[in-house]
Structure 1
Amino acid sequence: MIAIGFEGSANKIGVGIIKHTPDGKVEVLANVRHTYITPPGQGFLPRDTAVHHRAHVIPLTKQALEKASLKPSDVDCICFTKGPGMGAPLVSVAIAARTLSLLWGKPLVAVNHCIGHIEMGRMITGAKNPVVLYVSGGNTQVIAYAEHRYRIFGETIDIAVGNCLDRFARILNLPNDPSPGYNIEQGAKRGKKFFELPYAVKGMDVSFSGILSYIETLSTTHLKTGKCTAEDLCFSLQETVFAMLVEITERAMAHIGSSEVLIVGGVGCNERLQDMMGKMVAQRGGYLFATDERFCIDNGLMIAQAGILMFKTGHVTPLEDTWCTQRYRTDEVLVTWR
């Protein structure tokens, strides 16, 4: 069984193709994407991002099919991101998926973006039943599976950790290529002085907006007077927000008695986060699972993987139900494949 997946919930448009064989093996046939990159100090607007996605979705589809050596007739289902995400980019990719469904005569499967990250991580790493830390530009959640749902144990109560890092990168006027978070990570490696920042853990939830405001003030005062460097602030921000994430993840591990942690989402590529989480998990005698940028960052393959699992258990999305939503919680999805 072969599925093609389309992801375009933020500034990346991705197309992936995956194959499940009768003996239970999974083969990655293609995983291509293109990123909308804006000038330093700027974010990406929904309208402009949607234009970018519309320009690249068909070339990427052709590229994915060529890489997989497949024809449209070989595909069994077409999967696309229903949400959460930015409205205009989501709709532009959904329209492409609907059009191909009608042209190719293939069924559609609407996928939750967060579930896509989780199932991609489980497939690539082989994690069985981990506590999942899902960290990206738009989402921050600690998740565990129970009774056919991915239950949310804790989450951000304001902005996501990736959004916090991205916005601080804009304050420092760091490049958006390859990503603001990556450039903060590289700057943090050169930081030498740690500045104490607000530590906002509230039970199992976290808050990042106050930290962002505080460090923005530091950047306007300390950088001008030479009390610190931009690298020092990158280092201080990373250490603080990642310590918060490790704390709530450890609490979830203790609560459910799990020995596994899986990090997914774009921020999950950060080597310092993986290092801090790995030390905590090792102290508990457990195992950390993480992936590299091919699978951590938004991609079409994760949508194909989650979609094919849904499709194999009888889920098909009627054309009239293929609308998108910017708010689609992880725990809304009935997990029929586990």
Structure 2
Amino acid sequence: MGFEGSANKVAVGVVRSDGAILSNPRKTYITPPGTGFLPRETAEHHREVILDLVQAALDEAGVAPKDLDVLCYTKGPGMGAPLVSVAVVVRMLSQIWGKPIVGVNHCVGHIEMGRVVCGAVDPVVLYVSGGNTQVIAYNEKARRIERRYRIFGETIDIAVGNCLDKFAREIGLSNDPSPGYNIEQEAKKGTKFIDLPYAVKGMDVSLSGVLTERMRRGECTAADLCFSLQETIFAMLVEITERTMAHCNTQDVLIVGGVGCNVRLQEMMGEMVKQRGGALYATDDRYCVDNGAMIAYAGLLAFMEGDVTAMKDTTCTQRYRTDDVLVTWRKDKE
């Protein structure tokens, strides 16, 4: 059973070792238009609904607590108060049910969920979400020596999801179901492309300048700004992903994270990957958006390799890098 609560979504999922997802309910803390979600209020929301989610996950999966092997929770990265609120519940259930705990890196959870759902073996991964923008690969050196996912490129300031969320607040778009989704729908109405800063710096991207510039364009329609914003940012992401593919000699790409649901991003990335003779792997909001099953599956992979988190170490950290995780379960291409 996996528990996710690193941002405004709280979720509980149950999976089997073969990757079958038995249940995956979640709830989202939605704030009024023009506002964001604050740590304390988000944590309160998670505490209010998480036990109902646990029961819903058990019922949907058709299992009882005695059938579970391990409880997995998001250790980080994420917002401190929401992370801790979920970790406390996991520690409580672990002692009541007598189950071991595995702390999971949120980013690695996204990657392993994408790999098992899509069947991607060894792709370059574009991880795009509210708090993270990274291009990742399990490269040759990592396989033989490090056994870690390596970050080849990332944002040097704000993440793409954060960028989209801030802009949505500025123009008054709803947070239901998410700011990024509503920007995507508004962008479909745009007809005029507006030049915005294109800031690729080596393998990294900078998005804060794009955000500042687009907020100055008062004479433009919201639809044109949304359209231009997506085209500019997604082109930057495609560029650094392709450069990573060339470096790793890999033709396939997997997009994960909440922003990975964006159909336009998938279209642009798919065209590039097609030209290189590869395959694009992506999913819809069931698995791209934060969910409990991804934490359950990543934790189960580690658990089957003998990894268990001692109770005294079931803490949370807001800064938990993808390349901090020892990937003991990757056996391919050794």
**Shift of the alpha carbon at 1:26?**
2.8
RMSD: 0.5
TM-superposition CA deviations, 1:73-119 (whole Å, max 9, x none) = 10000000000000000000000110000000000000000000000
- Which one has a larger percent strand, Structure 1 or Structure 2? 1
Asked if structure 1 preserves the Cα contact closer than 8 Å seen for 2:87 and 2:316, the reply is yes
Residue 233 of structure 1 deviates from its aligned partner by 0.3
Structure 2 counterpart of 1:286: 278
Aligned residue identity for 1:243: A
> What code does the residue aligned with 2:171 have?
L
Match of 2:243 among 251, 260, 283: 251
Equivalent residue of 1:238, what SS?
A: helix
Residue 40 (structure 2) aligns with = 47
The match for 1:11 is 8
Scaled by the length of structure 1, the TM-score of the pair is 0.95
- For residues 120 and 26 of structure 1, what CA distance do their matches in structure 2 show? 8
**What residue is the counterpart of 2:299 in the other structure?**
307
Which residue is 1:197 aligned to? Answer: 196
User: Is residue 136 of structure 2 the alignment partner of residue 137 of structure 1?
Assistant: no
Q: Which residue of 2 aligns with 1:176?
A: 175
Equivalent in the alignment of 1:260? 252
Q: What stretches of structure 1 move > 3 A for 4+ residues in a row? A: none
1:26-37 aligned within 5 A: 26-37=19-30
The match for 2:106 is: 113
Determine the structure 2 residue equivalent to 1:104. Answer: 97
CA distance in 2, matches of 1:156, 1:101: 37
The DSSP-based 3-state class of the residue aligned with 1:263 is strand
The aligned residue for residue 69 of structure 1 is 62
Q: Aligned partners of 2:287, 2:60: CA distance in 1, in Å?
A: 17
**Distance of 2:20 and 2:176 partners within structure 1:** 30
Structure 2 stretches of 5 or more lacking a match?
A: none
CA distance in 1, matches of 2:315, 2:285: 29
Q: Could you say what secondary structure the match of 2:216 adopts?
A: helix
Q: Measure the CA separation in 1 of the matches of 2:285 and 2:29.
A: 16
The alignment partner of 2:193 has SS state of coil
- Equivalent residue, structure 2, for 1:225: none
CA distance in 2, matches of 1:69, 1:264: 28
Normalized against structure 2, the TM-score is what?
0.96
Classify the secondary structure of the residue corresponding to 1:15.
strand
Query: Take 1:260 and 1:285, find their aligned partners in 2: how far apart are those partners?
Result: 8
User: What residue identity is the alignment partner of 1:79?
Assistant: C
Q: Which residue of 2 aligns with 1:161?
A: 160
Unaligned 5+ segments in structure 1 are: 223-227
| Cα distance in structure 2, aligned partners of 1:259 and 1:154 | 17
The 2-side partners of 1:303 and 1:27 are apart by 13
CA distance in 2, matches of 1:11, 1:217: 29
| 1:229 Cα deviation from its structure 2 partner | 1.2
**Secondary structure class of the residue paired with 2:73:** strand
Equivalents in 1 of 2:231, 2:154: separation in Å? 18
Q: 1-side partners of 2:182 and 2:169: how far apart? A: 11
Provide the residue aligned with 1:152 in structure 2. Answer: 151
Residue 39 of structure 1 aligns with an amino acid whose one-letter code is P
Q: 1:234 aligns with which of 226, 234, 238?
A: 226
Name the counterpart of 2:86. Answer: 93
Aligned residues of 2:199 and 2:205 also touching (Cα < 8 A)? yes
